[in-house]
Amino acid sequence: MVFSMFENLEILQFPDERLRRLSRPVESFNRDLKTLADKMLEIMYDSNGIGLAAPQVNQTIRLIVIDVSEDRDNPCIFVNPKIKEPAGSVDSSEGCLSVPEIRTTIKRYENIILEYQDLNGERHEETLGDLMSICVQHEIDHLDGKLFIDYVPDVKLQRLRKKIAKNKKNQLPTEGTTVRVV
């Protein structure tokens, strides 16, 4: 597995088409994988996010990092995550580091069983609910080339696209990518 430019990773921004690529399963559990996970956590914390998927930093593998703890001291790393036995339904007000300054409400499963591997390749299964369940679903969508705005009705999506275009037009040109969670 070759990870490009660990030091220069930045969050891809919608409408970048690289966000739509399908991610490949991780097969090599090595130092590069751990380095990428650590760098993703650093980027997520620096961006005030609660989750980040590898495709958001232009790495097309099935790796997500999450920390929904109040003190931001409980990082979770999920490799090759799969949702099993989804149950219930909940309205979730979501934003995304790849679609900054946009929030919208979408339906998510209330509870899930998550099957995944850790950084050593060991298999695990956990029952998740609340914000952790929602965040995992959001990040797994990134692994499948989906964004949270894909769930909104067309009329609302047109309004969101206009807002995104307006926000981009009003932004000053900057070097690199900056993100802000609203």
pLDDT over 80 (residue 182): no
Residue 70 burial (CB count, 10 A): 7
Asked whether residue 180 is assigned to any structural domain, the reply reads: no
Q: Which residue type is seen at 179?
A: V
Max CA pair span of the chain = 47
* Residue 65 belongs to domain spanning: 6-170
State what percent of residues in the chain have pLDDT above 90.
73
Angle, CA 23 vertex, CA 48 and CA 79 arms, to 5°: 65
Number of domains in the chain: 1
pLDDT over 80 (residue 5): no
Q: Stretch 40-44: mean pLDDT, rounded? A: 97
Q: What confidence category does residue 152 fall into, taking pLDDT thresholds of 50, 70 and 90? A: confident
Residues pairing with 107 in the sheet: 91
Angle, CA 170 vertex, CA 20 and CA 92 arms, to 5°: 50
What pTM was computed for the model? 0.84
Q: Indicate the helix (H) or strand (E) that contains 118.
A: none
The closest alpha carbon to 107, from 76, 153, 63, belongs to: 153
Q: Stretch 116-128: mean pLDDT, rounded? A: 98
Please give the Cα distance from 178 to 84 (Å, whole number): 35
Catalytic residue list = 139
Asked whether residue 42 is assigned to any structural domain, the reply reads: yes
Please give the Cα distance from 95 to 102 (Å, whole number): 6
| Averaged pLDDT score across all residues of the chain | 88
Asked whether residue 93 is assigned to any structural domain, the reply reads: yes
pLDDT over 50 (residue 86): yes
Q: For position 75, which CATH number holds?
A: 3.90.45.10
